[in-house]
Homo-oligomer: A and B are copies of this chain.
Amino acid sequence: MVAARLIAAHPHGELIFATSDKWRNEPLEVRLGPTMPASLRFIANAEALTVDGPLDAVLLATPVEVSFALAAAFRERGVAVIDLSGAFRLKDAAAYPRWYRVEHPYPQLLAEAHYGLPELTGPAPRGALVANPGCYPTASLLALAPLVRAGLVEREGIVIDAKSGVTGAGRRGEEAYAFVELDADLRAYRALEHQHTPEIAQALAVPSLTFQPHLLPISRGLYATAYGRPKHGATAAVVAECLRAFYARAAFVDVVPVEEVRLREVVGTNRARVAATADKDVVIAVGAIDNLVKGAAGQAVQNLNLMFGLPEAAGLDALLPQFP
């Protein structure tokens, strides 16, 4: 729903419709706040395909199965699709039963799909199907991929220990995500079976890796700590410089010392902070993002901007940090 807010406030965008089976017929501004167009009401997911008039792009923040169907249908109409689910992120259709517990119905769309992490994969072609990266992969890859690409980290034995606010994991109506369950708590979850594991490995082009997420007692923010074995003289200075050089012209990524990679600096914005250090035993790379913005809706808008030749930060540079 952050996506709807961002599109509604985008200087070059217009929000035509928004869907929600749960909130069907309710005014958007009641659910999303007074910055939403007063005239719009949610329609059901199934009604999306009945919307008249010209559409440049749709953003899908729907369950995998819904994304399969809507993406295929909008593709046939020539509408660009930015899909925020995992439906089109893995190249290997055979991985879907294991990681998403579903057979992939459109393997040919997997081949077409552009994995949209702009700092690493560049702009998508106009009209493309964009697989918008997961929140954990975004933070992990921004921190680690430049080092792996530069050959400073062994491709085997990578460990990513990630920590996410509740909006990255929780569904509202379940007891497990109640305030009194999560307040002041922390735990690991989905050990060795989180679906972002193959997505990160694919983007790093490594044969396997260990990814372990944890649930933080905060609403927003995602922090990834990656550990790898150093290679080719990867010292603290070399790995830090590698990141600085890689992101020298990046609009949204700040390379800073490890202790300045903090959730407070990025939450509320589309920015990422990354850092790396090393000694003889290990390379440590850390990344922090707002899981709902750079980890989801903000990155979707960034992908849209690049696809349509707009300034990369359009509709995103007005997102101010929230720390006092």
Interface residues of A (CB under 8 A from B): 1-2, 5-6, 9, 32-35, 157, 159, 161, 163, 166-167, 170, 172-175, 177-189, 191-192, 208-210, 212, 214, 216-221, 223, 225, 227, 229, 236, 254, 258-265, 267-269, 271, 277, 279, 281-282, 284, 286, 288, 292, 317-324
Contacts and interface: CB of A to CB of B under 8 A. Distances in A.
A3 to B, nearest CB: 12
A302 to B, nearest CB: 15
Contact of A262 (B159, B185, B260, B320): B185
A175 B177 CA distance: 9
A313 B46 CA distance: 36
A166 B191 contact: no
Contacts of A269: 33, 35
A216 B219 contact: no
Contacts of A175: 172-173
Contact of A187 (B157, B179, B185, B262): B262
Contact of A163 (B34, B186, B288): B186
A188 B259 contact: yes
B254 A167 contact: no
A34 B320 CA distance: 9
Contact of A182 (B179, B209, B223): B179
Contacts of A185: 221, 262-264, 323
Given A157-B229, A188-B258, A277-B191, A321 B32 contact: yes
A177 B174 contact: no
Nearest to A191: B258
Contacts of A225: 161, 188, 212, 214
A15 to B, nearest CB: 13
5 contacts: A33-B265, A159-B227, A184-B220, A185-B262, A187-B262
